[in-house]
Amino acid sequence: MRLIGLILLLGIQLFAVDATLEIVKNTNKIPYIVVERLDSENADFGAKVLKMLVADLKVSGHFQVYDGGVSKAQTITYKDYADKKIDLLAQIKVSKSSNAITGTILLYDINRSKLAYTKEYTENDLKRFPFIAHNMTIDVNSYIQAPSIQWMQRLVVLSQYTTSGSSEILIADYTLTYQKVVVRGGLNIFPKWADSKQESIYYTKYLDVPTIVKHNLVSGQIERLVSSEGVAIVSDVSKNGENLILSLSPTALSDLYIYNTKSTNMRRLTNYSGIDVDGKFVNDEKEIIFVSDRLGYPNIFMMRIDGGGTEQVVLHGRNNSAVTSNGKYAVYTSRETNNEFGSNTFNLYLISLAPGSNYIRRLTASGKNQMPKYSHDGGTIMYLKHYKAQSALGIIRIDYNTNYFFPLTRMKIQAFDW
């Protein structure tokens, strides 16, 4: 029962149906790029890569993008494109052999009237075709020397409910177009990347009691770490992968612990009669930010790793049930309504963790916006959005004030990490 109560506290279960794309705002003067598909043998995968490439370029926030469809042109007439105020032309072609897929991009710099580069990308699994587009986008972005979007290469690890009492863990690209199940059988929840290379994951498996295990996705090796009667969750992993923030409830409701993976030593960080969960490293890993009900409702607090100086961080809202941080800023959920019998609105807010700062910015405006997760580079937020009869995985590009939504079809996501 305590595990169920904690899941409700974290507010992490959504229902999956279709949603749509929304670009909220873009006021920057940015390059105009046209993407075309060269007539090739594999029109099906060519069309899929083209669609994904167009979407990626939009999500980057660094381009105005136009889908040019299929082109049969043998030569490039630069003046025709220049007259239309086009800066870049990307032409792609896609081929497959057995289960491998290869994409080629030719990027033309219209302003310089030259072919900027040609590059091939190969994936040995047809289902990984989204990464052809993601890597093309990263390289086009690098050509214009825009801020890095390497996060598009990273995998998302997520757990989804399958049947009553069962869930599986998948890895996916950031759009959830590519998906691969890596853990099946039983209740497998709260996945977390164990290392920056994304070779291993932590997750909670219900054995006799909830147990944290480490699963090496390369070798298949599985190692048991810690068990706890009520709750056992890896809430955060240090940058070097050596220290974990754990949410455990060995005797009562959950508290936070720091666990060293090399020595296997564990030290208790909080000692509260209620619920302390969802701890995240902040401020060069000298402090943690976490969710606690010590005010009688979920709110966000911060404390030093040495166990002192606990303080309330958020003074807005009366149900702040999840938090993520890039170390200097934090994004949290806040319930905006108090409907006892109907649907409530949960929005995301961004705050600075600098001492004395009162900076706050609302990131969403409607619906239930939950489970925010920072990208590896700390510039993008991934979250789950539920609005009316629609659910989606959302991407917020913080510096560009843009949102992009990827529909969730027949998925009940329990938790995810990026």
Check whether residue 103 and residue 168 sit in a common domain.
no
Q: Which residues contact 264 (CB under 8 A, 6 or more apart)?
A: 225
Residue 298 sits in a domain of what CATH number? Answer: 2.120.10.30
Alpha-helical runs (H) found in 114-267: 129-143
Residue 282 domain flag: yes
User: H helices then E strands: how many in the chain?
Assistant: 4, 29
Residue 7 domain flag: no
For residue 17, is pLDDT > 70?
A: no
Looking at residue 235, its amino acid is S
**pLDDT tens digits along 124-170:** 999 999 999 999 999 999 999 999 999 999 999 999 999 888 999 99
Q: In the chain, how many domains are there?
A: 2
Single out the residue of 418, 403, 395, 393 nearest to residue 14, CA to CA: 393
For residue 91, is pLDDT > 60?
A: yes
User: Domain range holding 318?
Assistant: 156-417
Residue 276 domain flag: yes
**pLDDT tens digits along 303-319:** 999 877 789 998 877 78
Q: What's the Cα-to-Cα distance from 358 to each of 160, 355, 396, rounded to whole Å?
A: 37, 9, 22
Q: 221 is written with which tokens?
A: 């090796």
Check whether residue 301 and residue 222 sit in a common domain.
yes
Element (H, E) at 89: strand 88-97
Check whether residue 47 and residue 184 sit in a common domain.
no
Alpha-helical runs (H) found in 247-398: none
Residue 16 domain flag: no
Question: Which of 31-45, 57-71, 311-325 is the most confident on average?
Answer: 57-71
**What pLDDT is recorded for position 341?**
64
Q: 360 is written with which tokens?
A: 């706050």
Check whether residue 81 and residue 176 sit in a common domain.
no
Check whether residue 100 and residue 172 sit in a common domain.
no
Q: 399 is written with which tokens?
A: 């510096």
Q: What's the Cα-to-Cα distance from 16 to each of 13, 23, 168, 337, rounded to whole Å?
A: 10, 21, 16, 22
**pLDDT tens digits along 102-130:** 999 999 999 999 999 999 999 999 999 99
Residue 289 domain flag: yes
For residue 350, is pLDDT > 80?
A: yes
Residue 132 sits in a domain of what CATH number? Answer: 3.40.50.10070
pLDDT band at 11 (very low <50, low <70, confident <90, very high): very low
Last residue of a domain, one of 85, 114, 144: 144
Check whether residue 232 and residue 118 sit in a common domain.
no
Does this model's pTM top 0.85? My answer is yes
